[in-house]
Amino acid sequence: MDHLLLLFLLLWSSEPVVRLVEGKSRCAGALELKHLREWRTLNANALWNLKTAAVVCRELNCGSAVSVGERVESSSRPVWEISPICVESGSALRDCAESSSANHIVTLTCSDSVRLLGGTGLCSGRLEVNSDPSDPSWSSVCEADFDQQDAQPVVRLMGGESRCAGDLEVKQEGEWRAVWGYNPNPKRYWTLKTAGVVCRVLNCGSAVSVGQIFSPPRYVWGISPACVQSEPDLRECAEASFAANIVSLTCSDSVRLVNGTSLCSGRLEVKSNQSDPSWSSVCEADFDQQDAQVVCRQLGCGAPSVLQGALYGEGEAPMGTKEFQCGGHESALLDCSSASERNTCSPGRAVSLTCSEPVRLVRGESRCAGDLEVKHQGEWRPVWGYDSLRTLKTAGVACKDLDCGSAVSVGWRKESSERSVWLISSDCVQSGSALRECAEPGYSNHILNLTCSDLLFQPNISVSSMYGVSGAQQQGFQVFRGSTFTISCSIQPQYPGGSFQLNFTSINSANNYYSLPAVNHSAHFLFPSAEPAHQGSYSCVYHLFVFSHNFSSESRLLSVSATDPGPFIIRAVVLPLTLLLVVTVGLYFYCKEE
């Protein structure tokens, strides 16, 4: 009896619980699930995508998911309602099923006899083939038996100046459609971070701009930005939709910066021939500041700030030996003239470049305070201030980009009317992306206002004495013992008021400081008689209360030493007497000869 029960359980457990019916093969058709001993179709209102459908194709041993859609029937009937989120979490289909009724039925098509394994999505990986549907095994394909014509693209840009710019289209269910890049819940548009996935898939470098164009309403593929950032295969994210606004983007095409901290930093790589998919590094000796200006402009970044070899690693790309000769005004690096190629280029000399981020603070009292603006798609716009970057941590990214220290305060002001702004998600910034990579278009009358810690200029420090002697740089300034000397602190005019604190540190004593109010942006600390106790390091610290916060800025260190005046007095007396004696003796002999 136990053996019969075991046999029954094995047969029952091997019975299929999912199938595709009414299609051209067992790997295409309307999706049905057996649950509670009843076969039912699945409700399509849950907006299944290829990522969800791939679970079914794997269970049916039908390769990869090719398309997923819906069929509308004349009347409602009992169906199983299955949430795609439940399926994608790893749960079995039956564990996600709920009883319902509908007339929209899920249909899908699997690749049947081909699949790609070990890649980053449905469109990459090791090719395997199943030539016999009755045989569940799969076999790899030899490289010698496969060429470029056997592979067809599913991801393209149309209507632009090159294959790396234009309206985004995706091939799904055998049909090319434009992409609707708006996700209504939560409200999100495509950003440079999202567009960068497309540029990488197309081997088109980095994302430079992304936006939307409006056309008469048509059938499109709705693709959520969040799905794209987690799934590089856009088909896995595509859902049938009807819309008028579609995604349009531009990639850098022939240049890119890799291994950097953002789209504006990294090791420079160039692709000089569009028919050749390979990229090459550039030799440091063949690249100068004017070339860097062109690259930064081509990438939509600010001016070049650091040009240094091997800063972001050597990489695996071959080293190019072509010298670029740019005037600095060209729009693309390949528009520049180039010299003949060299024979060699030393290892460790690949060009690394950092371009400044296109960020600024305006309408403030200094460059480190004011309304935050970001340049994106060639346009400066303020940042939405009602909910963006509202913490000091996230707002500090802008301060860092501006080389203004950390964020001291962040808030917003309300204008009388709405205008074009950039919406920037705090979550996107906290993930390590630059502000420009997270920018989405929008309208608002709430403008972000930011104050950074390095609000003030650096003060100046100087020493004056009637008998002072300026020594070598490492020795600082020497004054005679017993003489009067003055240490002066000053700062460029920015704000009225404030005070100066003179810090003093010596080897034999603890830190001391003296304070004076700032008068005409300066203060003078008088020392009536120089003593050995005055020897040490001095610095000026300017303190100011402004914008409801305390700010401070410190000068460089200045070393002061007290010197015994004896040797100086001896030199001052002996040297003139010696010179007088020499002159006298010389005149004597001159007159005697006459």
Q: What are the sequence ranges of the domains in the chain?
A: 13-115, 152-251, 255-355, 359-452, 460-563, 564-594
Strand-pairing partners, residue 72, are: 104
Level-2 CATH architecture, domain 460-563: Sandwich (2.60)
152-251, what's its fold? Mac-2 Binding Protein (3.10.250)
Determine the pLDDT at residue 574: 54
Q: Mind listing the pLDDT tens digit for each residue in 370-421?
A: 999 999 888 899 998 777 787 888 888 899 888 888 888 888 889 999 999 9
CATH assignment of 255-355?
A: 3.10.250.10
Q: pTM of whole model > 0.75?
A: no
pLDDT tier for residue 308 given thresholds of 50, 70 and 90 = low
Determine the pLDDT at residue 150: 42
Residue whose entry in the numeric block shows the structure tokens 């004076």: 516
Level-2 CATH architecture, domain 13-115: Roll (3.10)
The domains spanning 13-115 and 460-563 adopt the same CATH topology? no
CATH assignment of 359-452?
A: 3.10.250.10
70-105 burial: b if 16+ Cβ within 10 Å, else e: beeeeeeeebbbbebebbeeeeebeebbeebebbbb
Contacts by 194-198 with C-beta closer than 8 Å and gap 24+? 194/225, 194/228, 194/229, 195/247, 195/249, 195/251, 196/263, 196/437, 197/228, 197/229, 197/232, 197/234, 198/155, 198/157, 198/168, 198/228, 198/234, 198/249, 198/251
Q: Mind listing the pLDDT tens digit for each residue in 320-347?
A: 657 788 888 888 888 888 765 654 566 6
pLDDT winner (highest mean) among 85-94, 530-539, 564-573: 530-539
Separation between Cα atoms, residue 572 and residue 565, nearest integer Å: 10
DSSP string, 140-180: E--GGG--GGG---SEEEEESSSTTEEEEEEEETTEEEEEE
